[in-house]
């Protein structure tokens, strides 16, 4: 899905700012026609979760009503006008001037609604109803009755089946934008390498007759090609001699301009950044541009005080600065797609991203399973459609820690892996499991990702015993699946400022010692292609006996981005001895 852009054919307006909000605890807003105007509302910042902005709204998960005034950008006669929401969590229904524009289910992924026939020049009233409720047939699920076999339900408030706060609201930018009559609907870029030549294959989709021209510029080169449209598509292959490849440390980006032509005259144009790189699995290795690569990095959250699930740009910049400082080259978008601007920066700065769907805490009891399956297919499709052109995205993660004990799980993920590879045959697919050798779904994956907390949740207080247990188990998992393995989560809670010598649980020393011992073990495993510490930063969770102050303290940085002892020790390791290993 193309991000809104402004050029000679297109206009876009960002609707960020102060909207009005009204809680609707009795769910009477539709009956009282709030969609014609919500009446008495309170100022609310968009984009941002609403939970921490308003007194008394923290644990309220909807429905809420948003309202703002929209003056559309001035396009040309015959243009189409769209509304695009970067993310609304969880269910959004949209009205313009009292008329229904559409709806979308699922947070963290964009959706757009055409409003050409609803919008007027001048002032329009935009109203959005948001329902952030937790439910067993949603993805991610919540309000799931506790059942040790299926879900760690019941012990958190709000009752999420996942370990992060269920922030809700309009959490990413909203744009109103226009496209010309003969608009480009989509562009897909695939890159290959032949010797020193980069191959950039551009596929453009658009309706009607005519042709498409693609022009790639960068590093003193300007290479152009064109192709006629056939059945709504045009495919152009550009060859780049002595190409500057994209990789961490040298994230070379070209600029691609794609024009839609009719009788030789341009009618529409979009531009995007292109990184020439390849990613593939070969035996036990993960190869970037044909060379073994190891992922050093973190699981994270889009999480910050007051703004909730929305990271202010300055915090995004700070997080990348901290990732560079510590010597990381990678992160996983745990446990949901991150913002497009975050991935644009990962492209520019050279980070390897495992892009994950919002499927966390999935369980496979028959009730609601068909709905969860349909949502997982939709979200996988929406994720790949949104992020397929980012060179930084090197792998798709279909889920985090599904409760795969039930037989239905393996088939569920086999189908999902097939869908992902059909949509994007160029990237490896993975699943992140806590089952390990018992995760039958790994048979359908290209890479095996495992989360392990030996020495924390089990072997508590005994790092040595935990590491020894991990040593044997990783080998067992590799013997079973014979695929590259990423330890996608490991770590320990450390309350910043809590110190103990000898180390003891919840002290910074214990966290640092455990992480260092894990990293030392992973360096010895030739089939380990990645180490992602859990977590880059402390983050907000639901309330529960394991989360003091409603915070998960496994960050190696605090929630306000200050380094703990573990951050310094990891930095010494990752920046001290540069090697291929994680
Ligand atoms: C799991 C889960 C994380 C977090 C972590 C922890 O691996 O994937 O989201 O909950 O455990 O801190 O216990």
Walking along the chain (582 residues) 10 residues at a time, the average pLDDT comes out as: 93 98 98 97 98 97 97 92 98 98 98 98 97 97 78 76 97 98 96 98 95 98 97 97 98 98 96 98 98 98 98 98 98 98 98 98 93 98 98 98 94 98 98 95 98 98 98 98 98 98 98 98 98 98 96 98 98 74 54
Are 261 and 283 in the same domain? no
Ligand 1 atom closest to 360 (CA): 8
Q: Are 286 and 330 in contact (CB under 8 A)?
A: no
**Is 253 among the domain residues?**
yes
Residue 163 lies in a domain: no
Other beta carbons less than 10 A from residue 135's beta carbon? 15
Same-domain status, 366 and 400: yes
Is ligand 1 within 6 A of the CB of residue 339?
no
Is 433 a domain residue? Answer: yes
Question: Do 495 and 407 share a structural domain?
Answer: yes
* 51 shares a domain with 87: yes
CB of residue 303 inside a 6 A radius of ligand 1: no
| Domain of 482, in residue numbers | 279-574
Residue 340 belongs to some domain of the structure:
yes
| Domain end marker among 256, 274, 292 | 274
**d(C-alpha 159, C-alpha 140), whole Å:** 12
Q: Is the CB of 451 under 6 A from ligand 1?
A: yes
Task: Judge if 86 and 226 occupy the same domain.
Answer: no
Q: What is the CATH number of the domain that holds 219?
A: 2.60.40.10
The Cα–Cα gap between 213 and 264 comes to: 10
Q: Are residues 269 and 249 in the same domain?
A: yes
- Is 489 in the active site? yes
Supply the pLDDT for residue 579. 46
552 Cα nearest atom in ligand 1: 12
Q: Of 151, 152, 163, which is best to mutate to test ligand 1, by the most ligand atoms within 8 angstroms of its C-beta?
A: 163
Whether residue 441 sits in one domain with residue 300: yes
CA–centroid distance, residue 72 to ligand 1 (Å): 43
Nearest atom, ligand 1, residue 541 CA: 10
Q: What does the pLDDT read at residue 580?
A: 44
523 is catalytic: no
Residue 543 is assigned to a structural domain of this protein:
yes
Q: Is residue 321 part of a domain?
A: yes
Q: Which of 67, 302, 439, 489 is catalytic?
A: 489
Say whether both 268 and 293 belong to one domain: no
Q: Give me the pLDDT at residue 151, please.
A: 54
Confidence at residue 152, expressed as pLDDT on a 0 to 100 scale: 54
pLDDT at 146: 74
Q: For the domain that residue 92 is a member of, what is the CATH number? A: 2.60.120.260
Are 313 and 224 found together in one domain? Answer: no
498 & 366 share domain: yes
Is any atom of ligand 1 closer than 6 Å to the C-beta of 554?
yes
In a domain, 142, yes or no: no
Read off the pTM: 0.97
Q: How many domains does the chain have?
A: 3
Catalytic position from the list 93, 401, 509, 513? 401
Does the beta carbon of 400 sit less than 6 angstroms from any atom of ligand 1?
yes
Q: Quick one: 239 and 376 in the same domain?
A: no
State the number of CA atoms in the 13 A half-sphere of 564 facing the CB: 31
**Which of 141, 156, 179 lies at the terminal end of a domain, its last residue?**
179
Residue that terminates a domain, selected from 243, 274, 305: 274
Q: Is the CB of 534 under 6 A from ligand 1?
A: yes
> CB-based burial of residue 77 (10 Å sphere; 0-12 exposed, 13-18 middle, 19+ buried)?
exposed
Residues 172 and 307 in one domain: no
Instruction: Report the pLDDT value the prediction gives residue 175, as an integer from 0 to 100.
Output: 98
The predicted structure's pLDDT at residue 312: 98
């Amino acid at each position: 899905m193309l991000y809104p852009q402004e050029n000679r054919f297109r206009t876009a307006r960002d609707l960020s700012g102060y909207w009005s909000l009204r809680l609707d605890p009795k769910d009477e807003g539709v009956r009282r026609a709030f969609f014609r105007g919500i009446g008495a509302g309170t100022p609310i910042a968009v984009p941002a979760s609403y939970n921490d902005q308003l007194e008394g709204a923290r644990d309220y998960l909807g429905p809420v009503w948003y309202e703002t005034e929209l003056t559309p950008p001035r396009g040309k006669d015959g243009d189409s006008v769209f509304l695009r929401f970067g993310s609304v969590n969880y269910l959004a229904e949209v009205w313009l001037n009292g008329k229904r524009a559409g709806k979308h289910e699922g947070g963290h992924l964009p959706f757009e609604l055409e409003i050409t026939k609803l919008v007027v020049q001048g002032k329009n009233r935009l109203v959005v109803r948001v329902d952030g409720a937790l439910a067993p047939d949603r993805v991610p699920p919540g309000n799931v009755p506790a059942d040790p076999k299926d879900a760690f339900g019941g012990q958190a408030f709000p009752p999420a089946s996942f370990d992060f706060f269920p922030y809700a609201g309009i959490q990413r930018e909203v744009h109103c934008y226009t496209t010309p009559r003969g608009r480009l609907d989509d562009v897909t870029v695939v890159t290959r390498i032949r010797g020193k030549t980069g191959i950039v294959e551009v596929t453009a989709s658009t309706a009607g007759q005519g042709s498409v021209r693609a022009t790639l510029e960068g590093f003193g080169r300007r290479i152009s090609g064109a192709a006629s449209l056939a059945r709504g598509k045009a495919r152009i292959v550009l060859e780049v001699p002595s190409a500057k490849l994209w990789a961490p440390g040298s994230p070379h980006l070209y600029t691609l301009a794609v024009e839609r032509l009719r009788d030789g005259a341009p009618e529409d144009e979009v531009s995007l950044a292109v990184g020439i790189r390849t990613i593939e699995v070969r035996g036990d290795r993960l190869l970037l541009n044909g060379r073994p690569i190891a992922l050093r990095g973190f699981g994270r959250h889009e999480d910050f005080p007051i703004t909730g699930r929305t990271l202010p740009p300055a915090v995004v910049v700070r997080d990348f600065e901290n990732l560079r400082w510590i010597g990381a080259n990678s992160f996983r978008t745990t446990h949901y797609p991150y913002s497009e601007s975050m991935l644009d920066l990962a492209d520019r700065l050279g980070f390897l991203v495992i892009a994950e769907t919002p499927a966390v805490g999935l369980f496979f009891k028959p009730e609601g399973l068909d709905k969860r399956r349909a949502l997982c297919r939709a979200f996988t499709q929406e994720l790949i459609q949104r992020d397929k052109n980012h060179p930084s995205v090197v792998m798709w993660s279909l889920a985090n820690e599904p409760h795969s004990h039930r037989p239905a799980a393996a088939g569920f993920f086999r189908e999902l892996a097939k869908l992902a590879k059909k949509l994007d045959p160029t990237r490896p697919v993975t699943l992140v499991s806590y089952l390990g050798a018992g995760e039958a779904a790994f048979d359908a994956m290209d890479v095996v990702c495992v989360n392990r907390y030996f020495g924390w949740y089990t072997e508590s207080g005994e790092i040595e015993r935990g590491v020894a247990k991990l040593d044997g188990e990783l080998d067992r998992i590799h013997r079973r699946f014979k695929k590259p393995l990423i330890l996608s989560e490991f770590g320990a809670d450390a309350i910043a400022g809590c110190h103990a010598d000898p180390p003891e649980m919840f002290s910074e020393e214990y966290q640092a010692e455990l992480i260092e011992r894990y990293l030392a073990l992973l360096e010895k495993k030739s089939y380990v292609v990645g180490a992602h510490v859990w977590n880059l930063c402390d983050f907000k969770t639901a309330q529960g006996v394991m989360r003091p102050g409603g915070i998960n303290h496994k960050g190696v940085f605090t929630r306000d981005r200050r380094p703990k002892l573990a951050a310094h020790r990891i930095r010494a390791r990752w920046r001290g001895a540069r090697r291929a290993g994680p």
